[in-house]
Chains A and B, each alone.
Chain A
Amino acid sequence: MAAAFKECDAVVEAEYRSPILHHSSLETHGNVVDYRGGEEATVYASTQGTFTIPGDAAHELGLKESAVRAVVEHMGGGFGSKFGIGVEGMLACQLSKQAKAPVHLMLTRKDEFLLAGNRSGSWQKFKAGVRRDGTLVALHATQYQLGGLGDGSQAGQPYIYAAANAYRERISVHTHEDASRAMRAPGHPQASFAIESLMDELAYKIGIDPVEFRKKNLKDAVYHRQLDRGAREIGWERRNKTPGGGTGPLRRGMGCGIGTWGGGGNDECKVDVTVARDGSVVVAVGTQDLGTGTRTYTRAIVAEELGLGMKDVAERIGDSRLGQANSSGGSTTAASLAPSVKDAAVKARLAVAERLSPLLGGAKPEEITFTNAAVSGGGKTLSWKQACAALPAAGVTGHGVWVSSLADRGVHGVCFAEVEVDVETGHVKPIKMVHVQDIGLPLNRLADESQMNGGMIQSLGMALWEGRVMDAKLGLQLNAGFGDYKLPGALEMPEFVPLIDDEDKREAVIGVGEPSIIPAVGAVVNAVYNACGVRVRELPITPDKILMGLMSERRGA
């Protein structure tokens, strides 16, 4: 390493810190455990995994797993913190067992901050060097994961970049704080924030446009096209050429950041699509909807396959009595579930077609078409109602399983941010954020864009306001509530431009929930630097840090 650093024309040594963050789902963790004695129980859970509940509950209640039903009609957000029944669920089971009565137990907001998991903090130390042409030559990273009693998580540095000489060590530092849990793209926003800050510092130091600098050090062409598109969209050429340049108290600046995520699906979902003789269609699977639109695409895929409208199909989800499904973690729900839904729908269509073949001049089932609530073949057309009347009394059901070719993994995301900094107060006003994301085959563009908006907004929170504050002597969290743990609100919102990268031609489903929270943190941090010339290396970037930065700069000058 030492030799490699000698080759470098510019070297940056820097440390970046991000605090512990809280999922802050608006619905706290909790359950209604309905056990009134006897052999069976029902648990109404706020969970990301319908099928993680029965086993846990059965264990507490002393029942067979198959005797416990989990119901998850709706749930108020999880972001990675809601798998399994948790201590709160265990407690509710014990109480219900002793009382032989239903028990409703939700954590209070304060409990939620203190024992429902968090995103681990990070402390990342770097020494990195580049050649004059911008090539990253050497990088040494020491990464501390601050996960309390847990290990915490952090993607390994140099993250998406490559350096000819790279060394990293990752260390979990344990403290007497509650354990971290998975939180939307575990480990990635921390890693992306730090490396994107570092790349920016190197680019400015060597005097190369930060976008060009990144391209220079990224081989994957997808990043190149996304960077170009994002730069165009935000108007990168308008950016402050000298960080902190300009006159008057309000200074605008732009920055960018990059992220990657795996995602992908698994053979875990069993879906039934049943067409009844009265024409009603039900798609049933035990999966849960976290607000990500699972219900909508489950229904839409079936409607499309059968040539029906959304209103003609009903979905039943969120029930462990229905077909097995995976938990919603790692952005794997859509990629696991959608192919199985499609498979079930295709099988149901073929089953219907088989029954209709005699009525449609013996047309081959595969050749019978389903469009506009009508079924056609052999030169004949039946309305959906007429067609279904020919089904057996029990209707027909397609049992769907996962089709690997319909799912994929591996995505790229680029975010650009523009902010305005008041250099006399330290106030940062987000102006605009552009996020370009490849997601394979978009199932629902509106919902995909909503996910991207949500990712940008949570990144904004991480960049500018959020973070656990502990008192070192008392060992107490000082901001275990929404008054002092500050989520961004309506007045903090910039203009959002979520862009699905349609040059991604993969005809396969990939999740978009997690990728969309990764690159924006770095983008905002770098935009703040570009606007006011202060490099804040510890999140969140609150006004005090900017003002103190400006003061020490002035003292330095």
Chain B
Amino acid sequence: MKAFEWVSPASVEEAVGLLKSAPTSREMDEAARPLAGGQDLLTTMKDYLTRPVRVVNLKSIRGLDKIEGDGRKGLRVGALVTLAQVEEHAVIRRDFPGLAEAAHSVATQQIRNLGTVGGNLCQRPRCWYYRLEEAVCIKKGGSECFAATGENKYNAILGGGPSWIVHPSDLAPMLVALGASVNVAGADGRRTILLEKFFTLPNEGSVRRENVLQNDEIITEVSVPASPFAARSTYLKFKERESLDFALSSVAAAVELGADKRVRQARLVLGGVAPVPWRVPKAEEFLKGKTLDAEALAGAARLALEGAEPLSKNAYKVPLTQTLVRRALAKAGGVSA
């Protein structure tokens, strides 16, 4: 990894100031970076994918590691809260079970003990072309997405082009499903962004980024509103290798059921299949008023994958994700798939 300036600010204001004031470079992968758990940033730095001139340690800032609230008041999770804290938190497990499951599904305990919520949302893609230093793909300033015609079994089937990465975060689909927003602080002030609007497709904004954050902005907190479906939320992740792997495909589902067991509201977000957490409003709409029987599950699964455009080697993601949609909805609704 390249050498960098190291600094541990005491406040959010100092942190964003230090991000802003860092020696500038025209190369965006050399911009100053905030460091949280380092479970992603250090991996990209070791492979020279990012080469920040300055690393701003967020862990020296107090107060960003709190979990507050509950299912009635809504939940507030500090950006520095670790994934291990999320998965073990009694209130989250009770009121937002899908969020605890999503956190638990990430990597291994070693990574979850350090990896944070903010870092999880801002981690960089895992596409093996992106991760290979020698392959200067479109995400690294090159002109081409090598996955488009290359080894693309792990790549996007929805929302792809001009890059076909999939978003690697497991928290993101679940948090989008739960209607979460992020509080963001920047050198020019603070803003709150609905998480669904936080992530950007490769053809929106810069293809080299995965979200709307500016270089001098950091996430300070994630807030999850109280909702009638949070208590019936679940996250299903399918991995090629169970022990340690990113999602080949995943589904975050949440449903509100009426007394008649009919769906009043549903949220359905796909992970591992698109460059952003892929919400499927059509399927959500379709489920309204239905009992979660086999037919409804199959219908939702079909609609969820509508418009999928597989590349040469990832058509399998369509049936796989359909299965996961059915299973996740059934689990959230407490019925058998």
Q: Footprint of B on A, CB under 8 Å?
A: 249, 424-427, 465, 469, 471-474, 476, 478-480, 483-484, 486, 488-492, 542-544, 547-548, 551
Contact = CB atoms under 8 A, between A and B. Distances in A.
B315 A492 contact: no
Interface residues of B, number: 29
Contact of B150 (A473, A479, A484, A544): A473
Contacts of A473: 146, 149-150
Contact of B134 (A476, A489, A542, A551): A476
26 contacts: A424-B319, A425-B320, A426-B316, A426-B320, A427-B238, A469-B128, A469-B151, A471-B146, A471-B150, A474-B150, A476-B132, A478-B129, A478-B151, A486-B240, A488-B241, A489-B241, A491-B242, A492-B242, A492-B243, A543-B238, A543-B248, A543-B320, A544-B316, A548-B315, A551-B316, A551-B319
Interface in B186-243: 238, 240-243
Contacts of B323: 249, 424-425
B314 interface: yes
B153 interface: yes
Nearest to A546: B316
A16 to B, nearest CB: 20
B243 A491 contact: yes
A547 B78 CA distance: 40
A17 to B, nearest CB: 15
Contact of A479 (B128, B149, B248, B314): B128
Interface in B99-132: 126, 128-129, 131-132
Interface of B: 126, 128-129, 131-132, 134-135, 146, 149-151, 153, 238, 240-245, 248, 313-317, 319-320, 323-324
Nearest to B136: A474
Contacts of A491: 242-243
Contacts of A548: 315-316
A492 B239 CA distance: 12
A543 B146 contact: no
A490 B108 CA distance: 11
Contacts of B135: 471, 474, 476
Contacts of A543: 238, 240, 248, 316, 320
Given A471-B151, A478-B151, A544-B153, A465 B146 contact: no
A547 B249 CA distance: 14
B220 to A, nearest CB: 30
Nearest to B314: A544
- Report which residue of B241, B244, B248 has the largest number of chain A beta carbons within 10 angstroms of its beta carbon: B241
Considering residues A426, A469, A473, A492, which has the most beta carbons from chain B within 10 angstroms of its beta carbon? Answer: A426
A488 B241 CA distance: 7
Most chain A beta-carbon neighbours within 10 Å: one of B151, B315, B316, B320: B316
Contacts of A490: 243
Given A471-B151, A478-B151, A547-B316, A486 B241 contact: yes
A474 B147 CA distance: 11
B109 to A, nearest CB: 12
Given A471-B135, A478-B132, A544-B314, A465 B241 contact: yes
Consensus secondary structure, chain B interface: loop
Nearest to B134: A476
Given A465-B241, A471-B150, A425 B315 contact: no
Contacts of A551: 315-316, 319
> Main SS of chain A's interface residues?
loop
Given A469-B151, A480-B132, A492-B242, 18 more contacts: A424-B319, A469-B128, A471-B129, A471-B150, A472-B150, A473-B150, A476-B132, A476-B134, A478-B128, A486-B245, A489-B243, A543-B316, A543-B320, A544-B153, A547-B320, A548-B315, A548-B316, A551-B316
Contacts of A542: 153, 240
A488 B245 CA distance: 11
Contacts of B317: 544
Contacts of B146: 471, 473-474
Nearest to A422: B323
A491 B150 CA distance: 30
A463 to B, nearest CB: 13
Nearest to A554: B319
B97 to A, nearest CB: 22
A207 B242 CA distance: 35
Contact of A484 (B128, B313, B315): B128
Across the A-B interface, the 7 shortest Cβ-Cβ residue pairs? A489-B243, A544-B316, A491-B242, A547-B316, A424-B323, A478-B128, A491-B243
Nearest to B322: A424
Nearest to A547: B316
Nearest to B154: A484
B129 to A, nearest CB: 7
Interface centre among A249, A425, A427, A491 (most CB of B within 10 A): A425
Contacts of A424: 319, 323
A135 to B, nearest CB: 39
Contacts of A465: 240-241
Contacts of B238: 425, 427, 543
Contacts of B150: 471-474
Contacts of B316: 426, 543-544, 547-548, 551
Contacts of B245: 486
A429 B327 CA distance: 18
B244 A489 contact: yes
Nearest to B108: A489
A542 B132 CA distance: 22
A445 B243 CA distance: 29
B105 to A, nearest CB: 13
A40 B241 CA distance: 49
A488 B315 contact: no
B313 A488 contact: no
Q: Which of B126, B243, B245, B314 has the most CB of A within 10 A?
A: B243
A543 B238 CA distance: 10
A543 B151 CA distance: 16
A178 to B, nearest CB: 15
Contacts of B149: 473
B45 to A, nearest CB: 15
Nearest to B127: A478
A145 B150 CA distance: 24
Contacts of B129: 471, 478
Contacts of A544: 153, 313-314, 316-317
Interface centre among B126, B248, B324 (most CB of A within 10 A): B248
B299 to A, nearest CB: 17
B253 to A, nearest CB: 16
A478 B127 CA distance: 9
Nearest to B129: A478
Contacts of A486: 240-241, 245
A465 B244 CA distance: 12
